[in-house]
Structure 1
C-alpha cells in the first residue's frame, strides 16, 4: 500500500496520477475529498483530514509500507520550524509505530553548502528530512531546484506588464526543474520496492538559467517582449505580509532568497544523469504550461 499526501496539490496530484499507472494499491490523505475527481476517488482509498493529525495518520498508515510526504507550506505559521518540522513530527512518530518502510519526500537543495543553516524554508526542509531519517525508514529526499512552475504565480504580470520579477541578480544562473519531472521521479521510487538506505536525490532540471535567460525564452515562446526585473528583498517581504504571511514566514522566504543569491545551490555538481532524471527544459515547460496559462489569464 502506497500512501500519498497532498494529492490535490501541484506536485501531489501528478505523483498520484503517475502512481496509479502502476499496479499497487493507493491510499490518499486529503482535507477535501471533493477536490478529487470521481475517477480518482473510485481508484484509491480516501482518508479525509490533515496529514498533521495523529488520528488521521494512524488510519492512513495502517497496513501501508510506502509514503509520499509533502508539507503544504503554511504562510501563517509561527515559525519556519513549526511549518516543516512541527507539521512532520506526528508523521515521524506514526512511521515508527505503524511500520512504514519507505518514504519519499520533496525537499530542497542546499545541504552541502555553508548556507544550509540560515536559508529559511530550505533550512526547515532539511530539518524535516533529518527528522524523517531519524525514524530509520528507507528514505529518498528529493532535493529539488527552484520550480519552473513558480513562474505561474506571475501569469497576469507577464501578460499585462511584460515583466518577470524576482530578487535574484539578473545574470545569476541557477538550476530549475519542472514539477512534472519531480512527480515522475517520486512515482518511480514509490513503485520500486527494491531500494533501501537513505539518500538525497538532487533534481536540477537539464540546464542552469538566469532571470534574463528565462525572460528571453518567455519572450520567444509568447512572441511578446518580457523583461526580467530584480526587486529588493523588502519589496518581496512586504508582498508576502500583505498577502497574509506571518513575519517569521515572510522572513523565511527572504532568508531563502538571500542564501540562493549567495550560493545555496552550489553544493551539487551537475552530471548527465540530472538531465535524464529531469528532462523538461524551460522552453518546453513554457510551451506546454506557461503559454496556455497566459492565454487563459
Structure 2
C-alpha cells in the first residue's frame, strides 16, 4: 500500500517520514518546496511539489495512494478558518477521486467541541468532512506541542517570563511532536483498525504552566518565569507582529475556548500516554537554543 505524507518537513511530519522509512516504506511526500527536504532523506522518498490549498494539485499528487497522513497546513491568510476549509476541500477531493481508503489526520484536543475553540474549529471541520466519506480514518487528538515554546525563544533568551492567557495552575496535556509521529506511523502501518477512530496523544503528563516553568528552569540552568496576561494584552502583542484581526481571534480562541470547564473527550490512559518528557525535550532541544545564543 502506497503511503503519502503531507507537511514532511514539519515538527511532526518529518518524524513520520523517518519512521516509515525505517519500517521499509518509501513514502510519497507532498510539499511546496522539495528542496526543503533534508539531504539525508531525499533518496528514500518520492517528493511531489504540491500546494495543499489546491484540490486539483493534491488529487493529482495522491493518485495511486492507499493511505494518507494529512495535516492541515498552517494558515497564512487573513481568515484562518477559510484556509482550513480550503485544505479540507483538498483532502476530500483527493480521497474521493483516488479511492484512498485510509487516512490518519493530525487534529487537536478541543476539536471535539466543534465550535468555540478558535483555529481548532478548522480541525474540527476537517474531522467532520473526513467522517462523512465512509473511509477508515483516525483522528489524532494531540495535546499542546513542546515545540510551541520555541515561539517565545527571544523572550527566553532575554530572561523575560513566558506570557500566557491560561490560568497558571490549569493542567493540560503536553506532548512531543516525535511521539505524535510515532502514533501516526503506527496507525498508518497497522491493519488492525477500521472505521472512524479517535486516538488521543497526551504526552506523559498533564502539566500546569507553573510546572512547565520549573521544568524549563532546571533543564536550561537559569530561572524561567511565567506570568498570566490579559486577553487584550495578548491581542495587542499578536497585532504588533502583523496578524489580522481574524487570525488574532483564532489564535486566542485555542486558549480561551478550552480554559473554562473543558474536559478532553478522551481520558488519559495507557493508550493516550506517550513517553517523551518535557524535561528531556527541553534539555536536548530548548537548552542549546538558549545557552548557545547567550554564550
Could you say which TM-score interval applies, normalised by the shorter chain? over 0.9
Aligned equivalents of 2:80, 2:71: Cα separation in 1 = 18
Partner of 1:142: 140
Aligned equivalents of 1:108, 1:64: Cα separation in 2 = 25
Aligned equivalents of 2:224, 2:68: Cα separation in 1 = 41
**Structure 1: 4+ residue segments shifted above 6 A:** none
Equivalent pair of 1:28/1:60 in contact (CA under 8 Å): no
| Pairing 1:295–2:291 present | yes
Equivalent pair of 1:75/1:244 in contact (CA under 8 Å): no
TM-score of the superposed pair, with normalisation by structure 1: 0.92
Aligned length: 292
Deviation at 1:27, TM superposition (A): 0.6
* Gaps in structure 2 of 5+ consecutive residues: none
Change (3 A) 1:16 1:212: same
Partner of 1:171: 169
Change (3 A) 1:158 1:42: same
TM-score of the superposed pair, with normalisation by structure 2: 0.93
Instruction: Show the 5 A alignment for 1:1-297.
Output: 1-80=2-81, 82-112=82-112, 115-275=113-273, 278-297=274-293
Equivalent pair of 2:139/2:199 in contact (CA under 8 Å): yes
Deviation at 1:207, TM superposition (A): 0.8
Change (3 A) 1:265 1:252: farther
Aligned equivalents of 2:76, 2:211: Cα separation in 1 = 29
Give the helix-richer structure, 1 or 2: 1
More relative contact order, 1 or 2 (CA 8 Å, 6+ apart): 1
Equivalent pair of 2:114/2:125 in contact (CA under 8 Å): no
* Gaps in structure 1 of 5+ consecutive residues: none
**What do the CA deviations read for 1:169-205 (whole angstroms, capped 9, x no partner)?**
1111111111111011111111223421111111111
